[in-house]
Amino acid sequence: MMVEIQSITFEHHRESLGIGETNPRISWSFTGNAQNWIQSAYELEISHGSHGSIQPEKYRVESSQSVLVPWPSKTLNARDTVRVRVRAFGTDGSTPTDWSDWNSLEVGLLAREDWQAHVIAAPRTLTPSKSLRPALFRKEFRLEKPIRSARLYVTSYGIYEAHMNGKRVGDHVLAPGWTAYKYRLNYQTHDITDLLKQGDNAIAAEVGEGWYCGRLGFNRGWRCLYGDRLSLLAQIEVTYQDNEIMRIGTDNSWKTSVGPIISSEIYDGEAYDASLEIDGWSSPVFEDHQWSGVEELDFPKAQLIAPEGPPVRKTEVVKAQQVIKTPSGKYVVDFGQNLVGWLRVHVSGPKGHTISFTHTEVLENGEAATRPLRDCKAKDSLTLSGKPITWSPKFTFHGFRYVQVDNWPTAEPKLSDLEAIVIHTDMQETGSFTCSDPMVNKLHENIRWGMRGNFVSIPTDCPQRDERLGWTGDIQIFCPTANFLYSTTGMLSSWLKDLAVEQIHDLNGVVSVIVPNILPKGYTMPQAAWSDAAIMTPWDLYTSSGDISILRTQHESMKIWLEKGVARQENGLWDPNGHQLGDWLDPAAPPSEPGNGKTDPHLVANAYLVHITHLMSLISNVLSLSSDATHYASEAERLKKLFQDEYITPNGRLAPDSMTALALAITFNLFASPTHLTSATTRLSTLVRTSKFRIATGFVGTPLILPSLTKVGKVQLAYKMLLQTRCPSWLYPITMGATTMWERWDSMLPNGSINPGEMTSFNHYALGSVGAWLHSTVGGISPLEPGWKKVLFAPRPGGTVRTAQARFLSPYGVVGWEEGKKKFWMRARVPPNTTAEVRVPGREEVVRVESGEYEFRSEFVEEGWPPKAIYAPFAQYEDMDD
């Protein structure tokens, strides 16, 4: 089969309208199963201008690089449009691939001078709960000539929905998303050419308080953290057929009012009165004489930035599965899946009739369980106008499987009356995994659903209660799993810039446990594992994407955290008097004290400190900072010796020797000698067996326990832990009907009651960090070098699972396994322009291959492993005694 170029992308953009880079790096991926195909050169054609009227520039480069190659043409300016295509040559240099399809990019607005619009604010209209009632903005304008093209550049203080001539602009929701608004504010670019006409036009927008003005945080939270005015910044640029440009921007000539949304809060939900709908308010024929004037505000001090990652969108519709009448006589609609988003309701009824919808994740005693929501109502209401309506909220979102419907016009809703709309950041799906065990497949499915529900503009901890915040520890441990499942680089690299700017300018080098940080200063203290996301998350993104610029961009933040932010005692270890979260939600911790687990929190902190110092030496090497690399390598060894003196006995016993402590020490290479490692292996094996293969780790230990067992050759113990169904275990929630990952191993107790602890979410991705082990060990595929240019195939059979498959859409193309037959038989697929190492169970040699499809067989049987229980990732086995 010939090699073909599958797609061209720029930087890490899924879409490339309104990007912020002026020298965008170019990537292309391949399809095809050609044997031993490595790119030796490539040719680019670059056509400037939207219609390609200028002769394309041509560039030939002798290189095997096909990911993030340097921009060869002139530096782009704001609004520039370019088309690019590529073809590649193999090592023989003779026959190139066909030219790829053209892909276009357009640069957005880059500087303050590109904006002629002003920020406009509506009067403050308070609801009874002291939230700000959403505001409407509008302006009419006239276009005198035929239109060639038109763009809308728009952002808000709050979250907005834009309209043009009565039609919705774009498909983004919760725009502009949540960033560190004090320093960085996203704007969006929309192509509105087809929404405009010669003659009279109208632009309009509705703005809700969102994260900007709304209540955020636990313990009743805080309001108006960034500002207390709902505001809009919008600029239309119309290019006529004769190339004249007309600009219409927000200014004091706009009008504002309020509409049918009475209130809309992220935590408490949205109240909508259909009788207050204003027909035609976003159309040019509307009379707005009685609307109020707006107030012009100062231009944002924050940097206006083009988004680096995709927007939040509606991604799926989930149908209602059943209507339940509860013991108290309430009607509850079950959607069969814990998800994040909102309802779409189809209903009619008398004017003034109000229906309410309360969203919960689980039922308890047959009723909608609202206690886990804490101080969060998660309740929408719809007041009818007497006409049929299809309605959804706009400026809130909920985490739910069940919706209690009160006061439905006919008492009991029908299944067709309600749908659930799933929303999340619209990342490209990259990884898949399946195996022969249905419960493991369900676990993996739950991990994916948990990620979808918590990647809503930022990586959040949970989507349902009075929190939904960017906890740094959660994403730090989950990032390797996330990077396999979806293309996260654009979204997370932007989030890391928020982390850095707040750390450096607001927090004296400390990395907050929440980004964007909404906590008062008294809450902000350095925390190992959480604040360490400043170093570990960029490294994980680099490992997945191969993009060295992420390390370069975050390097200042990394150094400041390590050298200034960490609260140290005199010898350089963590200050023992400081508070540490430690192995948060260890299953041994009391429900009311989630941080009071078995493992000394300062052992956790110091293990992480050694590890991140070692990572800094690796990062310094990648960045060619040789003196820094030497310094951090030496410092890591010094800190390791201090760790050993503090926590490891002369005979190699770890004190304390919990599962988490041993997993940390094994994974982070903290033992002084092979003898000590052997002692730790024996002790960890004993703990696993005496626990009857139930998990005994919290947030910190969970991502490491199975990898640490695998590292020391105890793969079968790892599988027995994975496949355990008794609480606490990964599969226990599945026996209880879970469709997402839980915050606690026992968020629901075996008797069906909810854990009495205050922190009891049923959609929390942290414990889903086991996904990285499923992908790399059960699935057996991982990057051998950053960016997947070289792939490692190393499945480790175990347990009673008999077949498995995994695939990953790498920057170079699809990598993965196909099922085979008869004993250990696996088929590996290596994309063009990559190489791989294959380590087949039962065979000593490492096989090195280039692109193509390959089959491998083995008579693999592990000692003590019954032949009839043989497992093969990406393979099928016959019984060995056949």
CATH value at residue 338: 2.60.120.260
The arithmetic mean of pLDDT across residues 329-344, rounded, is 98
- The whole-number pLDDT of residue 92 equals 77
Asked, for residue 122, whether it belongs to a domain, the answer is no
Nearest to 269 by CA among 323, 321, 343, 320: 343
Instruction: Tell me, yes or no, whether 857 and 799 share the same domain.
Output: yes
- List the domain range (segments joined by +) for residue 317: 313-425
What local confidence, expressed as pLDDT, does residue 815 receive?
A: 81
pLDDT digits (tens, 9 = 90+) for 112-133: 999 999 999 999 999 999 999 9
Per-residue confidence (pLDDT) for residue 52, from 0 to 100: 52
Q: Are residues 53 and 175 in the same domain?
A: no
Radius of gyration of the chain (CA): 28
Residue where one domain finishes, among candidates 425, 448, 465: 425
Model confidence pLDDT, tens digit, residues 836-862: 999 988 788 899 999 999 988 877 555
Dihedral, 356, 360, 364, 368 alpha carbons, nearest 10: 10
| Mean pLDDT along residues 749-772 | 96
Summarised one tens digit per residue, pLDDT across range 785-807 is 999 999 999 988 888 877 888 99
Q: Residue 113, SS3?
A: helix
| Half-sphere exposure of residue 276: CA atoms within 13 angstroms, side-chain side | 13
pTM of this structure: 0.96
Go through the chain and tell me how many residues it has: 882
The backbone torsions φ and ψ at residue 213, rounded to the nearest 5 degrees and listed phi first, read: -110, -15
Pull the structure tokens for residue 448.
């994916």
Residue range 679-696: mean pLDDT, rounded:
97
Token pair of 245, please? 């440009």
- Indicate which residue of 743, 819, 845, 878 is catalytic: 743
pLDDT at 53 (0 to 100): 59
pLDDT at 864: 38
Give the distance, in angstroms, between the CA of residue 19 and the centroid of all CA atoms in the same chain. Answer: 20
The reply to whether 822 falls in a domain is: yes
Residue 856 is predicted with a pLDDT of 87
Q: How far is Cα 535 from Cα 516, in angstroms, rounded to an integer?
A: 17
- Percent of the chain clearing pLDDT 70 (strictly above): 96
Confidence at residue 876, expressed as pLDDT on a 0 to 100 scale: 33
Strands 354-360 and 269-273: unpaired
pLDDT, tens only, 493-521 = 999 999 999 999 999 999 999 999 999 98
Residue 796 lies in a domain: yes
Regarding whether 584 and 715 lie in a shared domain, the answer is yes
Q: What average pLDDT does this structure show over 638-656? A: 94
- For residue 638 the two structure tokens come to 């010094």
Q: Are residues 532 and 444 in the same domain?
A: yes
Strand runs labelled E in 348-460: 354-360, 363-364, 367-368, 379-383, 389-391, 398-406, 418-425, 431-435, 455-456, 458-459
Mean pLDDT of the chain: 94
Q: Are residues 765 and 799 in the same domain?
A: no
Mean pLDDT of 283-306: 97
Kind plus residue range of the DSSP H or E element containing 501: helix 489-505
Domain stop point among 45, 72, 107: 107
Looking at residue 837, its pLDDT comes to 95
| The pLDDT of residue 869 is above 70 | no
Q: Is 244 a catalytic residue?
A: no
The candidate with the shortest Cα–Cα distance to 572, out of 524, 604, 613, 522, is 613
Helix and strand totals (H; E) in the chain = 14, 45
Q: Give the pLDDT confidence score for residue 820 in this predicted structure.
A: 45
Same structural domain, 391 and 502 = no
pLDDT higher than threshold 70 for residue 51: no
Between the alpha carbon of residue 407 and those of residues 263, 329, 353, 470, the distances in Å are: 20, 12, 8, 36
Boundary residue ending a domain (384, 403, 425): 425
Please tell me which residue, 864 or 34, carries the higher pLDDT value: 34
239-258 pLDDT per residue, tens = 999 999 999 999 999 999 99
One domain for residues 85 and 223: no
Cβ proximity of 301 and 180 under 8 Å: no
Q: Are residues 552 and 633 in the same domain?
A: yes
The catalytic residue among 467, 570, 819, 850 is 467
**Above 50 in pLDDT, residue 870?**
no
pLDDT digits (tens, 9 = 90+) for 393-416: 999 999 999 999 999 999 999 999
Residue with the two structure tokens 């105890």:
714
**pLDDT digits 0-9 by tens, 696-755:** 999 999 999 999 999 999 999 999 999 999 999 999 999 999 999 999 999 999 999 999
Is 392 part of a structural domain of the chain?
A: yes
In this structure, are 705 and 808 located in the same domain? no
Q: Is the pLDDT of residue 831 over 90?
A: yes
Q: How confident is the model at residue 822 (pLDDT cuts 50, 70, 90)?
A: very low
Domain identity same for 793 and 855: yes
The pLDDT of residue 865 is above 50: no
CA end-to-end span of the chain, whole Å?
37
- pLDDT value, residue 168: 98
CATH number for the domain harbouring residue 862: 2.60.420.10
Q: How many domains are there within the chain?
A: 5
3-state secondary structure 568-593: ECCCCCECCCCCCCCCCCCCCCCCCC
pLDDT digits (tens, 9 = 90+) for 189-213: 999 999 999 999 999 999 999 999 9
What is the band of 817 on the pLDDT scale with cuts at 50, 70, 90? Answer: low
Does 102 reside within a domain?
yes
Same domain membership, residue 252 and residue 165: yes
What CATH number did the domain enclosing 71 receive?
Answer: 2.60.40.10
Does pLDDT of 364 surpass 60?
A: yes
- Give the CATH number of the domain where residue 747 resides: 1.50.10.10
Active site residue 743: yes
Question: Bigger pLDDT: 11 or 591?
Answer: 11
Question: Does residue 483 share a domain with residue 409?
Answer: no
